[in-house]
Amino acid sequence: MLLFFVCILIVTLLNRTLSQYFAAQYLHERIQSGMVKVLQLCSDLAAAEDAFKRCADDARSQSWMESLPNAYLYCEAPSSDKHLSPLCQQVHAAETKWGPIHANPVLDFEFSLLTLNEVQWSAVRNMSKQRVLLVEQSVVQKATDELWGIRNRVMQYVFPVIALMLLAVSWLMASVLLKPVNHIRLTLEKLSSKNLNEPLEVSADYKEFEAFTSVFEELRGRLHNSFLQSHRFSSDASHELRTPLTILRGHVELGIAELPSGSLGQIRLRLMGEEIERLIDITEKLLLLSRADSDSLKLDMQRINISDVVSQMAEDAKFLQPNLKITTKIEPQIFWQCDKNLIYQLIQNLYVNAVNYNLPNGWIDFKLKQLNGTLELSISNPTHEVVQDLTGRAFERFYRGDSAHTRHIDGHGLGLSLCIEIIHLHHGRITLTADENQIVTVAVTAPLKPPEAWFG
């Protein structure tokens, strides 16, 4: 909007300058034409002042602009036997460059600007008879100023109307032209990795937008193929890795059982077994994420008492983590229609994160309540130091914060990524916040009944 008014101001100032210049030029040219007519028709009557004036008025009256000057100075040829006034003598004696009439060149007549006794004159001369007609330039300028003053008074009333009309027309044109763009924008905002296989329902109202929409349609197709290839790779790789990893785990467990207890070989095999279990866990989570990305993860919906699940996990934590203070504020008898296994994995991942990133003698606080048919679960814990990009990147895959601080912490950066996919499947949301006291809180909100159950 500001740019629009700046443009109007610039155009107005430019129009004013150009109009003033061309209006003055046009008025000067019309006055020159009037002076030519006076010389043509009235020069022989110059001896009789009244007759000359009447003739001049008649000659100029055909055009209002040509009749603006009301006082002329007429000079006869220097060779005539008539007495010339001192001013006329100066006119003939002055070294002046004469030129053709600007507006409408007339044969045998020419025009010039003279300065005599510090007064500027507009002069028209009949070349063959050497007769000159002059009018003071100040008279012409006064007429120009009066004409421009009228124009300014008119513009005081006209300009606001023009500005409003321009604003209305510009707004209307912008609305009409941007309508298909907004339609395309709204359609593209609905695109995600879950619906790239659906064609864009975009209609090009103008031919200029047809190429634009076709480019986006081609881009959607390429993105869909790329996502399919990525999902297939993750799924296939996870499937192919599960079997050899399971076989390796079996051989490692067999080797541990055959070796003497506490021997160096048994210790090495146990370390290998831990890394194999880590790879199996990563593989399972990658497979689960791949299914979530491709929207092929099927939910086994059950009605569970989520209050009991969270309470049991808190009780287990008191025995498994005796160095941590476990506090709870759990509202009883909250029933949630969800996939029990996935939700248990979600809460387990949040709990493990709270343990891994806790202080040596810290605490974990579980809170659970329901409000207007919505479940609200939060798990809070203190931590050593909150990295600057934690809240913005915590749910990225394989993100583990500052590696200098987390390299000693077990995990592989997929837990929160899996949590966000699980809660999205249940039509909820998950957030992570950190305050100035280095306390991290992960909050989960979700409807106790998914939309399918509401309308089922």
Q: What distance in Å separates the CA atoms of residue 236 and residue 230, rounded to the nearest whole number? A: 10
Q: What is the token pair recorded at 324?
A: 């941590």
Q: What distance in Å separates the CA atoms of residue 236 and residue 252, rounded to the nearest whole number? A: 25
Q: What is the pTM of this model?
A: 0.47
Asked if 377 and 337 count as a contact pair (C-beta separation under 8 A), the reply is no
Q: What distance in Å separates the CA atoms of residue 122 and residue 144, rounded to the nearest whole number? A: 14
Is pLDDT larger for residue 455 or for residue 229? Answer: 229
Q: What is the token pair recorded at 176?
A: 């009409």
> Among 121, 119, 106, which Cα is nearest to 37's?
106
Q: What share of the chain in percent tops pLDDT 70?
A: 75
Asked if 90 and 70 count as a contact pair (C-beta separation under 8 A), the reply is no
| pLDDT tens-digit series, residues 337-381 | 888 888 888 888 888 888 888 888 899 999 999 988 899 999 999
DSSP bridge pairs for 328: 366
- pLDDT level of residue 38 (50, 70, 90 thresholds): confident
Please give the single-letter amino acid code of residue 8: I
pLDDT score, position 305: 92
Is pLDDT larger for residue 390 or for residue 53? Answer: 53
pLDDT score, position 46: 66
DSSP bridge pairs for 105: none
Is pLDDT larger for residue 443 or for residue 278? Answer: 443
Please give the single-letter amino acid code of residue 412: H
Q: What distance in Å separates the CA atoms of residue 442 and residue 428, rounded to the nearest whole number? A: 13
Q: What distance in Å separates the CA atoms of residue 358 and residue 87, rounded to the nearest whole number? A: 107
- The bridge status of strand 131-136 relative to strand 119-126 is antiparallel
